[in-house]
Amino acid sequence: MAFIPPDSGKPVFRFAPSPNGRLHLGHALSALANEALAQKMGGRLLLRIEDIDLTRSRPEFVAGIVEDLDWLGIAFEPDVRRQSQHFDDYAAALGALQERGLVYPCFCSRQEIRAEVAAYEVETGRPWPLDPDGAPLYPGRCRGLEPREAIRRSTAGEPHVLRLDMAKALIASGKALSYAVFDADGAIRTVEARPERWGDVVLARKDVPTSYHLAVVVDDALQGVTHVVRGRDLEAATDIHVVLQHLLGLPTPLYHFHRLLLDEDGRKLAKSRQSESLAELRDSGVRPVDIRRQLAFASGAG
Ligand code: GLU
């Protein structure tokens, strides 16, 4: 597929939150890190709403994101991309991978995968390999399904996801994969990508015709993003993005992984754990300048 991103000649940064809750301090850190690095490098700053999960995304959270970023005083370009309006773009990318035989339908439920893994562990006494997020690698049951059988089951309406055949994908990419990481001083180092540690990742979910990995790669290319600034929690997943970029003929941006804010138990701040939202902090009298100072962005330093 031919992607022709707008070329302004300037570095392009983006902050890409998912609207399944109000923003918290961790998001503020990510948005401010993007702002600081964009300013330092004379770059553009885009906002992208990652709302492919139509069951969890809510319009009031989208409005809340805009309100909170505005309150923090971060100036994004007015054109905001909403992923839910671009499912066609992700379908086109998926189609290109399907045409090359790199994608297969998988009818296994999570419970079936868990049961298969547990049975293996009992039988062999050995632990099943996990991906970097701690989930079991997909055992591969549907990888070898007869194409005719796969078509029969999917046309019969059996729920399924679409997975990337990682072994085939790595052969198709044809070389060792790497990408460049930049630091706040602009120094760059090359990092090896090891997508095989993720196994056959999901590219389209049962209820959503894409996945985070596919949508983020397509959008970064379509928006001409040159510098991705994201938390260290997404560092390992970048390996998947790099292999997808290679397969789709898309450029690989430079990456910067910022620190994460942890709660008292040493866990990453998360909406699901009721971390205090920026809106609550604001209502309790905290000012944007306090947040910038607390996160060490007072002087615009990355
Ligand atoms: N939407 C993702 C999140 O909120 C981040 C996307 C990215 O930086 O690639 O965690």
| Amino acid 298: pLDDT | 63
Give the architecture-level CATH label for domain 7-107+142-294. Answer: 3-Layer(aba) Sandwich (3.40)
Read off the pLDDT of each residue in 167-183 and give the average, rounded to a whole number. 95
d(CA 248, CA 146): 26
| Amino acid 301: pLDDT | 40
226-274 pLDDT tens trace:
999 999 999 999 999 999 999 999 999 999 999 999 877 777 777 655 6
CB of 260 sitting under 6 A from ligand 1? no
Which letter does DSSP use for residue 17 in this model?
-
State the DSSP string of 61-83.
HHHHHHHHHHHHT----S--EEG
Report the SS3 class of residue 257: strand
- Asked if 146 and 100 count as a contact pair (C-beta separation under 8 A), the reply is no
Read off the pLDDT of each residue in 51-59 and give the average, rounded to a whole number. 94
Read off the pLDDT of each residue in 175-182 and give the average, rounded to a whole number. 95
d(CA 115, CA 37): 46
CB of 26 sitting under 6 A from ligand 1? no
- Asked if 57 and 18 count as a contact pair (C-beta separation under 8 A), the reply is yes
Of ligand 1's atoms, which has the minimum distance to the CA of residue 231? Answer: 8
Of ligand 1's atoms, which has the minimum distance to the CA of residue 15? Answer: 8
Amino acid at 193: A
CB of 219 sitting under 6 A from ligand 1? no
Q: Of 28, 27, 8, which Cα lies nearest the Cα of 18? A: 27
Report CA(17)–ligand 1 centroid distance (Å). Answer: 5
As a whole number, the mean pLDDT across the chain is 94
CB of 291 sitting under 6 A from ligand 1? no
| Amino acid 163: pLDDT | 98
Report CA(15)–ligand 1 centroid distance (Å). Answer: 8
Of ligand 1's atoms, which has the minimum distance to the CA of residue 241? Answer: 9
CB of 21 sitting under 6 A from ligand 1? no
Of ligand 1's atoms, which has the minimum distance to the CA of residue 237? Answer: 9
Read off the pLDDT of each residue in 60-77 and give the average, rounded to a whole number. 97
| Amino acid 4: pLDDT | 54
Question: Where do we find the tokens 């060490």?
Answer: 296
Strands 44-49 and 103-106: unpaired
97-120 pLDDT tens trace:
999 999 999 999 999 999 999 999
pLDDT at 217 over 50: yes
- Asked if 136 and 128 count as a contact pair (C-beta separation under 8 A), the reply is yes
Between 77 and 302, residue with greater pLDDT: 77
Two tokens, residue 267 = 């866990």
Share of the chain above pLDDT 70, in %: 94
d(CA 213, CA 209): 12
Instruction: Tell me which long-range contacts 266-275 makes (C-beta under 8 A, separation of at least 24).
Output: 268/26, 268/231, 268/233, 269/24, 269/25, 269/26, 270/24, 270/26, 271/20, 271/21, 271/22, 271/24, 272/21, 275/24, 275/25, 275/26
Q: Residue 226: exposed, middle, or buried by beta-carbon count in 10 A (0-12, 13-18, 19+)?
A: buried
Strands 227-231 and 254-258: parallel
Report CA(47)–ligand 1 centroid distance (Å). Answer: 11
CB of 216 sitting under 6 A from ligand 1? yes
Domain boundaries, the chain: 7-107+142-294
> What sign for the dihedral angle of Cα 285, 288, 293, 296?
positive
Strands 178-182 and 188-192: antiparallel
**Cα 196 to Cα 145, 166, 226, 250, distances in angstroms:** 21, 6, 25, 20
pTM, whole model, 2 decimals? 0.93
- Asked if 1 and 221 count as a contact pair (C-beta separation under 8 A), the reply is no
Report CA(67)–ligand 1 centroid distance (Å). Answer: 19
Of ligand 1's atoms, which has the minimum distance to the CA of residue 50? Answer: 1
Share of the chain above pLDDT 90, in %: 88
Report CA(72)–ligand 1 centroid distance (Å). Answer: 19
pLDDT at 299 over 60: no
d(CA 215, CA 207): 15
Read off the pLDDT of each residue in 128-139 and give the average, rounded to a whole number. 97
